[in-house]
Structure 1
Amino acid sequence: MASDGSWLTALIDWVVSLMEIIGPIGAGIAIALENIFPPLPSEVILPLAGLTASRGTFTLFEALFWTTAGSVVGALLLYGIGAALGVRRLRAVAGKVPLMHPEDIDRTVAWFHRHGGKAVFFGRMLPIFRSLISIPAGVTRMPLWKFGLLTAAGSLAWNTIFVLAGYLLGESWHIVEQYAEILQYVVIAVAAAAVAWFVYVRVRSLIAQRRGDDDGGHEPA
């Protein structure tokens, strides 16, 4: 999030105006957009929906229903992108990306077939991954009904925490943002560490392979 809060302030004003004009559906639209564009913080949008519900603009049930519906709609759009890409295209792309191999896609797909259900459900509760997890679900063509149910269940659990926080805390809803920001930093740090480890292992493997080729090329006849 921006340190000066200028863009966040504009976002808050826009979300509040949207909910005041078209009610809880506005919160659903905002959450659907957040799924497609992860930098939009659901940790801000959801408490605002709870705050607006506490003011009587709409009910708590409507806030939960429409934000969860927005989560599902946004996730389905990303699922469609993953399905359009498909395994074959991703393998072709992986073959052209430095340090990656088509086999990496095969291993990822195999992992997702084994653990995809848990990944979709719990992934809905993690910043950034909340959006990204829908793409491999589409790539592997997880049954749409299963993806929809798991997405709705995971989103409802996540949304309930933040909507209720905004509903109960009222004007002090921003307290939730501080704790959510810590979780976001932890997720980003773990993801960065995983990428760094992947690059380290792959580069080390390439160096060892080249040394082996050089040694083999200098063997006496």
Structure 2
Amino acid sequence: MLTFSTDVYDFMGWFGVIVLMSIESTAIPLPSEIIMPLAGWRLVLDEGHGVPHVFLAGFWGAVGSLIGSLAEYYVSRAGGRPFIEKYGKYILITHKDLERADSWFQTRGELTVFVARMIPGVRGFISIPAGIARMNVARFSLFTFLGAFPWTLGLAWGGYLLGENYDSIREVSKPFDIPIVGTALLIVAWFLWHRIKDVRAESRS
């Protein structure tokens, strides 16, 4: 992914930030933790630019995030609800879940989108329930951008400060992989167990 992102920047320059972050903001696994620090390193530091260009990298990253999120939002808005109503039980989603999602995004949609855009593993999917619940698109767009910008700016700033030492981050983080993955698997198992119970209960009612 690092090589792919580097090749994109070498070919597209700043436009590559928008393209890669648009991809990242869908369900496609292309981490912003690679895209944005690399932008701060290759497009700002290596080009001899100063701090204002770090903010520019963060801005274009947030624009790309918004574009990808809107694409996912509109796909989910157009076909998500009919799909869930017909096949939801096979992916552990009940009709009550749809009702809860509608209510939630009507009252707390802005805060949910804003916070979710900063959470790894969540930000690429939050557009789906927002689209299915038909959240107001203007508010969705505003809070998607506002939530994405601090994250993209922070990552670009990290890449700018670390430069070619960016690769060393992975060596430092490796010891944490096993406990993080183990905790995530436990959470997923607990979630699936409860969802299966809810789906079975609705099927019997």
TM exceeds 0.5?
Answer: yes
* C-alpha distance 57-24 of structure 1, shift in aligned 2 (>3 A): farther
How many residues are matched? 197
CA contact (8 A) 1:99 1:203 kept: yes
Corresponding residue of 2:56? 62
Matched, 1:87 2:119: no
Pair 1:98–1:131, CA change in 2 (3 A): closer
Residue 38 of structure 1: how far off its partner (Å): 3.6
User: Offset of 1:93 from its aligned partner?
Assistant: 2.4
For 2:151, give the aligned amino acid.
Answer: W
Deviation (angstroms), 1:118: 1.5
Offset at 1:136? 1.2
Q: Deviations over 1:97-156 (max 9, x none)?
A: 376532222123222323221111111111221111001111122111111110101110
Contact 1:162 1:176 in 2 (8 A): no
Picking from 54, 67, 74, the partner of 2:68 is: 74
Partner of 1:36: 26
Residue 203 of structure 1 and its aligned partner are, at CA, apart by 7.5
Which residue type is aligned with residue 118 of structure 2?
Answer: M
Partner of 1:216: none
Q: Is the 1:20–1:57 contact (alpha carbons within 8 Å) kept by the matching residues of 2? A: no
Equivalent residues in 2 for 1:135-174, closer than 5 Å: 135-174=128-167
Name the amino acid aligned to 1:70: G
What amino acid does structure 2 have at the position aligned with 1:77? A
Mind listing any 5+ residue stretches in structure 2 that lack a counterpart? none
User: Retained in 2: the 8 A contact 1:38–1:128?
Assistant: no
TM-score, normalisation: structure 2: 0.80
Change (3 A) 1:62 1:21: farther
State the AA in 2 paired with 1:131.
G
Q: 1:51·1:171 contact (CA, 8 Å) conserved in 2?
A: yes
Distance 1:101 1:141, change over 3 A: closer
SS in 1 for 2:30: coil
Q: Which has the higher contact order (CA 8 A, sep 6+)?
A: 2
Question: What's the TM-score once normalised by structure 1's chain length?
Answer: 0.75
Partner of 1:108: 101
16-25 or 56-65, which deviates more: 56-65
| Identity, % of aligned positions | 30
1:12 is aligned to 2
